[in-house]
Structure 1
Amino acid sequence: MTDRPDFLPSSTVSVGMHLYETTTFATHLYPDDDRVTLDAAGSGGTVTLFLDRPEITRLRGVLEQAEQDLTEQQQKIGVRAISGPAA
């Protein structure tokens, strides 16, 4: 992990967000910087992720693994997927 640059604040904030069918997503591309921002917006506000290309790949992998793990756990306990259009 890289050290925190001196110009960044030392405090952190945690934000939780439930994603629903009404949640909207918007990407903003910054090709010169090889990065994007991803806005997830709902009725209570917006959360923005700032992602360099390696973090895009990492996030995709984490989400794919989470879906696979959820499916495996549901199969173990005999529960079928009950939500989402991809289920």
Structure 2
Amino acid sequence: MSINELLKFNLFYESYVNGEPIDLINEKADSNQALRDELDNKMKQLSASTSSIYYEHRKELDHSIHINILLTILATSLLYYSFSKLM
């Protein structure tokens, strides 16, 4: 292969990769990067700080779990006390 043929092939390869123009590939890469940045920001908002949505929901869930545990202990104690006094 001559140098001219190699240069032509190189120019062709740089302008077309897998049948798509390199500009189109660069546009897709840029849009993918923008979407990735947006997703990263949303994930940080969900899980990063104490004022995040995730933290608020987790706090609410923990609160309801603790209340349910206390109510279960209270109900079990009341039933035990009632049945132990009956016998």
Query: Which of the five TM-score ranges fits, normalised by the shorter chain?
Result: 0.3 to 0.5
More strand per residue: 1 or 2? 1
- Between Structure 1 and Structure 2, whose CA radius of gyration is higher? 2
More helix per residue: 1 or 2? 2
Which structure has more relative contact order (CA 8 Å, sep 6+)? It is 1
TM-score by length of 2: 0.36
